[in-house]
Copies of this chain bind each other. A is one copy, B any other.
Amino acid sequence: MTGGRAGRRGGGRAARQAARLAAHVEGVPYLRRTTTAFEVLSEEGLSLIEDTADTILERVGIDFREAPDALDLLRAAGADVDGERVRFPRGLARHLVRATAPAAFTQVARNPDRSVLFGGAATIFAPAYGSPFVHDLDRGRRYGTIEDFRNFVKLAYASPWIHHSGGTVCEPVDLPVHTRHYDMVYAHVRWSDKPFMGSVTHPQRARDTVEMARIVFGASFLEQNTVLFSLINANSPLVWDATMLGAARAYAEANQAVMMTPFVLAGAMSPATVAGTCAQTLAEALAGMAYVQLVRPGAPVVLGSFASSMSMQSGAPTFGMPEPALVLYTMAALARRVGVPFRSGGALTASKIPDAQAAYESANTMQPTMLAGVNFVLHAAGWLEGGLAMGYEKLVLDADQLGMWHAFAKGVDLSPNGRALDAFLTNEPGTHFLGHPHTLANVETAFYRSPLADDSSFEQWEEEGSLDAAQRANAHWKRMLSEYEPPPLDDALDEELREWIERQKASFPGADG
């Protein structure tokens, strides 16, 4: 059952691994799905949830807190504003979104070959986002630093399967809170040429990000093109707050993309049911996207959904569970009916380490992510501990999984070569295909090659140290970092950007640079 060992190359494990890595160098700017989405509800079922969302918007309403501009815009568009509570006549929020929000858009990368398409059959993978801690096998779990941040930007750049540089790939806790956004955005520009995300922790930081993007891309180019994409979270249940709305406004005014994402722990931040969680998520997202379209009609928006289930024993969030998978499938279908790109999913887990729990939960989230047809996958690699930690080993293990999805997306080749009829007609029953010309002609491309999965014999595996997947991943990310070469960046541009950042930092009271 372990099969033959034909075709083994000389040179031992290291050489084999190098050969596998080499086979991976060619990436694509984003993945194109070739299958139709898996549906868990009928049109009637989806309509029932939409009806519930409409009732929430009409009768309960959404709070837009400390955001007088939002109240003014929404009132003028026909909403019923009572204090900070905004109620939408049935269908209004959806109408405002559908009237002007683009069904698809491109985020231009510093290297235009890496620009990504949001919408339709495109799927974009980005690393995990927002963790204060980082984890690796050597040093365990600790607070993230700007060095970790740069390392994760470099690893995402070096992976052919991660399309997007992401945003807060970890919190650089060693840097001052009020200026670290400069260093984060700079790191994405300097150490990668893939598209990236902007700061959202304060409206001014969003404006700073736009300013840096103007330096990198040119002010007039930015006005015409989406070069930034940023994560705006609702404060569920049914609240959008001033910080997030202010950041959203800063980006939308500059025609830059935002994803309006209800971030829900079901049972606490939404009802403890799938349909209830979906209805609330849809209501919140529609209200948030309507606001963005009123700020600047036609500004690119993404409907986001992040839903975890709750341990009813401890109240802690749980990941990779069946109920959030049902939410994901349902929300993807609801987003298609709104007509905007959809963000959800990722390699989510509650596990503290890259063990079997982490892998089961990550795969059980990535499967619905892909089969539901998600357009932007934040947290596609690296996520540990419910998002509290970014893992080095987890990042490369997850990236390997993303490579597999690229192979899956090729679909079934039905060409004469794919059906292999000539091979059958020239091969006797009982004779293996190993040495057949058809096999030799397909050998390089037939199957996905994992650089991390061990398929050797038990004896060979034992001889090589009985390593588990996390230990192999440890060697892998170190090799990736040691082989990392930065993408070219114009010296004058780099200097201009750095000088601008220094001036900004110097303007803060007590700034230490």
Contacts and interface: CB of A to CB of B under 8 A. Distances in A.
A447 to B, nearest CB: 4
Contact of A363 (B141, B276, B310, B359): B359
Interface string A29-61: 000000110111100010011001001100111
A312 B449 contact: yes
Given A314-B8, A317-B2, A429 B61 contact: yes
Contact of A279 (B40, B280, B420, B453): B420
A448 interface: yes
A355 interface: yes
Contact of A45 (B320, B405, B412): B412
Contact of A360 (B45, B353, B362): B362
Given A38-B371, A430-B63, A446-B323, A388 B356 contact: no
Given A318-B455, A357-B453, A363-B359, A446 B267 contact: yes
A386 interface: yes
A481 interface: no
Nearest to A361: B453
Interface in A424-469: 424-425, 427, 429-434, 436, 438-439, 442-444, 446-450, 452-458, 461, 466, 468-469
Contacts of A278: 412
A116 B469 CA distance: 37
Given A318-B453, A457-B316, A429 B275 contact: no
A333 to B, nearest CB: 11
Interface stretch (A118-126, A189-197, A217-225, A234-242): A234-242
B386 A1 contact: yes
A203 interface: no
Given A19-B313, A355-B355, A60 B425 contact: yes
B363 A271 contact: no
A510 interface: no
Given A312-B446, A470-B356, A350 B453 contact: yes
Given A268-B434, A429-B238, A350 B455 contact: yes
Contacts of A385: 458
A273 B316 contact: no
Nearest to A269: B432
A8 B313 contact: yes
A297 to B, nearest CB: 26
Contacts of A454: 350-352, 357
B412 A450 contact: no
A434 B316 CA distance: 12
A75 interface: no
Interface in A338-394: 350-364, 367, 371, 385-389
A250 interface: no
A329 to B, nearest CB: 8
Contacts of A386: 1-3, 455
Given A315-B8, A322-B448, A60 B434 contact: no
Contacts of A367: 363-364, 367, 371
Contact of A404 (B9, B364, B407, B411): B364
A326 B420 contact: no
A446 B5 contact: no
A321 interface: yes
Given A276-B419, A313-B7, A363-B360, A35 B38 contact: yes
Contact of A418 (B273, B322, B359): B273
A6 interface: yes
A155 interface: no
B273 A388 contact: no
A59 to B, nearest CB: 6
Contact of A355 (B45, B323, B439, B468): B468
A360 B394 CA distance: 12
A8 to B, nearest CB: 5
Residue of A273, A279, A321 ringed by the most chain B CB atoms within 10 A: A273
26 contacts: A2-B316, A2-B388, A7-B314, A38-B371, A133-B458, A237-B429, A237-B432, A239-B429, A270-B433, A271-B438, A273-B417, A273-B420, A274-B413, A274-B418, A310-B446, A312-B449, A316-B457, A322-B404, A350-B454, A352-B454, A355-B359, A355-B470, A357-B468, A359-B360, A367-B367, A389-B458
Closest 7 pairs between A and B when the two form their complex, measured CB to CB = A276-B420, A238-B429, A359-B359, A363-B363, A322-B408, A271-B420, A272-B446
Given A60-B424, A278-B412, A357-B452, 4 more contacts: A9-B313, A19-B313, A318-B447, A363-B367
